[in-house]
Amino acid sequence: MHGFCSFTATLMRTEAGSLRAGSDVKQHRSKDRRLPPNTDRDQMIGPDYPDNESERQRAVERYHILDTLPETQYDNITALMAHIADTPVSLITMLDHQRNFLKSHHGVPFSESPRNISFCGHAILSDQPITVVEDASVDPRFCSNPLVTDHGIRFYAGVPLCTPDNFRLGTLCIFDIVPRTLAPATQVALTTLAAQVEALLQQRITNFELTRLQQILEKKNEQLLLFGQALSHDLKSPLINIAYSADALLSTHPQTLSDTATDSLKAILATATTTCRYADSLLNFYSSDALLEVDAEEIFLDNLLDELDMISCQSSAKPVILTSDSNLETLVTRRAAFLQILVNLATNAIKYNDKSSVSLTFTATEDDTHYYFSLTDNSCGIPTDKIDHIFDRHTRIRPTDSNADGNGTISGYGLGLCTVKKLVNELQGTISASSTEGVGSTFSFSIQKTTPASRVARSAVAA
C-alpha cells in the first residue's frame, strides 16, 4: 500500500484548508467531521463476505481476469471516469479471496491491495446502486482504516460490477483525498461506465468460450482427419486387392468364364474401383482445410495450368485438350488450394463426359480486389433439377454414369464440388455454374486478392 503514500504526497494541498477545484467538491465544515458518539477510532470495521461468497468467487474465476496484464479498453474507462469526476484515482477492481485485484488502476502504481481494508468489499454488500463515502474520516467503517489514517483517503464512490446472474465481481470506483459529494451527472457517468465495463467482461467470457470451442473443434477435426486417413488406407487396401483379383480373372481367363461370372466380376471391379474413389474424395474433403494453412504466394499461371493438364491427362482414359484464354500472367493466392479447385472441376468434367475427348477451356481476368476464373467443359452436362444443388454435400450430378465406368455404376459421391465451394469460400470468393445437357458446363468462380507472405514479411522488416 506504499503506492498511496507517493500518490497522496503529489496531491497534498499547497495551502492548509484549500480544496481542489471542481463542481463536485464541497468543503465539509469541522462540525461535520466529528465521529458519531461511542465510535472507537482504533477499531476498523472490515467488509464481511457475501452469503454467496463461494459462488461469487467461482463467478470471478470464470472470467479469467485475475492477474492479467493491463488492457487498453479498461484503462480508457478509468482514465475517462477520473477526468469526468475530477478525481486523482479511478479503479476497476475484482475481489479475490483475500485481495482486491485492480484490473485497471488509474492514478496508483500497484495492482492489488488487501481485501480486508478495501472500500469495494463494502460496496458489493450494499443494496444501493452506488456506494458513496463523502468523508471516510468520520465514517465508522473507515475512520481507522489505514487507507484513511496513513494515506489520506477521504472520498470514495463505487458501482458494483455484476454478472448477468447477479454475482458482484468488483467495482468501478473513484477515490479522492478531500471530502466531497457526488453530483448527479457524475453518478450517471459512473453507472454508465460501469455498465460498459460489464459489457467488456461479458465479451471477455464470450471470447474465452469461443476460443475454448475452437480448440475443441480443432482437436476434433484433427481426430477426424486421422480417422479419415486410417479409414482411407484400411478401406482401400482390401478393395485394391479385390479389384486387382477381379481384373486378373477377367484378363487371364476370359474364355472359361460364363456370362454370369463375367458380369459379376465386372460389377465387383467397378464397385471396388468406385469405393476407392469415394475413400479418396472423403479424405480430400476433410483434409482440405490443411490446404488453406499455407501462406499465399505469387504463382505463374502457365506453370499451374501445365500441372493441371498433366494431372487431367493422367486421370482420363480419353485425350484431354486444355486451352487457356487469359492475359493474366501471375496471381497471388494459396497455391495448393487453388490447384485443388481446378483439379476437382477438371475431374468432374472427365468423369461425366460422353465425348471421344475431353475439352477444357480456362479463362482468367482480374479487377482491383478479385481474380475471376472460369472452366468450361464438354461434359454431358448437369440436369436442370440438379444445378441448384451441385455444391451440396453428397449431391450426385447423375445417379449412374456408364461413360465413366462402363458398367452403369455410381461414379461419384458428391464431395468433389462440395470441396470446391468450401475452398472458394475460404479464399473469400464465390462460385456458380451454368450448363446445357449434352453440350457441357461452365464453372465460374472468384477469389479475393491478397499479398504474398514474403512481401508482408519484407514490409514488416522495413517498418
Q: DSSP class of residue 36?
A: P
Grid cell for residue 362: 480456362
What pLDDT is recorded for position 390? Answer: 87
The CA distance from 58 to 48, in Å, is 18
Stretch 144-163: mean pLDDT: 95
What pLDDT is recorded for position 280? Answer: 66
Interval 357-366: pLDDT, tens? 999 999 999 9
Predicted confidence band at 42 (pLDDT cuts at 50, 70, 90)? low
Task: With 0.75 as the threshold, say if the pTM is over it.
Answer: no
Q: Tell me, rounded to whole angstroms, the distance of Cα 463 from its chain centroid.
A: 28
CATH code assigned to 2-182? 3.30.450.40
The CA R_g of the chain, rounded to the nearest whole Å, is 37
The CA distance from 178 to 172, in Å, is 19
What pLDDT is recorded for position 19? Answer: 33
Bin 17: left if φ > 0, else alpha if -120 < ψ < 50, else beta: left
Please, which residues bridge with residue 323 across strands?
361
Please say if the pLDDT value at position 79 is more than 80.
yes
Higher pLDDT, 22 or 200: 200
The CA distance from 294 to 290, in Å, is 8
What pLDDT is recorded for position 289? Answer: 61
Q: Which amino acid is at 48?
A: D
CATH entry, 289-463, from 3.30.565.10, 3.40.190.10, 3.40.50.1820, 3.40.50.720: 3.30.565.10
3-state SS, residue 403: helix
- Per the CB < 8 A criterion, the answer to whether 431 and 443 are in contact is yes
What does residue 167 show for φ and ψ, rounded to 5 degrees? -90, 135
Grid cell for residue 222: 484433427
The CA distance from 420 to 309, in Å, is 18
Grid cell for residue 154: 477521504
DSSP H helical ranges for 171-183:
none
Grid cell for residue 274: 468406385
The CA distance from 99 to 148, in Å, is 18
- Per the CB < 8 A criterion, the answer to whether 442 and 349 are in contact is no
Bin 432: left if φ > 0, else alpha if -120 < ψ < 50, else beta: beta
Interval 362-405: pLDDT, tens? 999 999 999 999 999 999 998 888 888 888 876 666 544 444 44
